[in-house]
Structure 1
Amino acid sequence: MRGVLSRGGLATRLLRRVLPVLGAGLLAAGATSSAPGGRNDALRPETALSDLLWSGDPVAAPRIDQSGRVLAPSSLRDRVVVLSFVSTDCLITCVARTLALADLTRDLPPDVRARTVVLAASVAPDRDDVAALRRFAEGLRIDAGKLRLVTGTAAATASVIAALRYPADRLPEPPPTVLVFDRRGQIAMTYGGDPLDVPRLRRDIGVLHSLEDGVGHPPRPAASAAP
């Protein structure tokens, strides 16, 4: 299932912000998204991507991808960011989800594709170093230009797991959760469960792309043609 954040009061508060802008189309599948593998209702509507990925400090908690490149916060600025979770020895459902995300941007319009970043963060940083991520990516033929697998510090990873309220005893199997952040780096959508609804996710990315000022703000008026 997929929807905007999660259940109860949290979903209601976010729906009040989102509905006037996005309309019913973005919410047609319902407002619940907790997956069998864990809970994500801990995430607040104001959750920022930088807080989740780097615990607010990208210098102390760097994220590095399978190519050995540091993931810079500036590379995500003004982008729709899709964030999933992975470990290099995860089960087949996780592998299938990761492959689906690696192919996510293929059918997006060029302008939307250019402003979409897809990430998969390891939940096992003690063993998923850059070399392990590279082997995993090469084995699945994942292009770093389409899906960046990133590792990080143990502390930053623990912070993410705590934010998702994912049971620690299920690690290193990652939560079956896909988070989508708007162009202002705020949490906008979450998907849970398998298989991932890729066509729906692509449509939602297109809507979020149109919201230059993020969820809760109307699209900017189109520029008038010069006389």
Structure 2
Amino acid sequence: MKKLALLAGAMLAFNASSAVASDLLSNTYIGISGGASFAEDGDIKVDGLGTAKDILEYDTGFNFAANLGYRINDIIRVQADFGYLRNNLDELANVDAKSDLSGFYSTASIFGDYHFNDKVTAFAGVGAGVLAPRISDVSISGVAGKADAKVKDNAVALFKVGAGLSYSLNDNIDVIASYDYLRSAEFKAMLDTPASPNPGKMRLSTHIAQIGLRYNF
């Protein structure tokens, strides 16, 4: 009798935990996205020398990301993103140059959803995270060789704001079109040339337009 009671208790506990796990999973989604990164012109600030405004000009770059989210209710959801972006340098101080600013990033965001109908939903959100910035070596038009460039900060804070639309293809799959603005805290970068003996401070500031797919469990 005691064994039957223990077995019944174990089965009830298993069923309860399965129901909780199923409920959690039913509100969870995963997704992927990719698109274009439009980096703003960048400043370089050097201690004792001031700030050179809009000295860095970038070509259109790219971004891709994966995300994991959880719906708290029909309106509010939270989402974690893990991505990579890159923009090639076009000009340095109005001179043709080659390099790139890139980095892996992760953010945690909270979104609000507005459902127009069963198919179309608008959303907007705000989040924060970290960016691991990277700069490749710099070559300048008319100057032989490349100047070694490196970032002296392994990770910096990152702010994110975004909005977009989703369209449900079926109960599980949504197509997403979104816009995100990402802005990092300042990080120190070093250019190994006699003209640049001190590290300069710069930041990433970019507008991202992307499309993606989301799978709802």
**TM-score, length-normalised on structure 2?**
0.20
Q: Find the structure with the greater CA-based Rg.
A: 2
Which structure shows the higher strand fraction? 2
**TM-score, length-normalised on structure 1?**
0.20
Relative contact order higher in (CA < 8 Å, ≥ 6 apart):
1
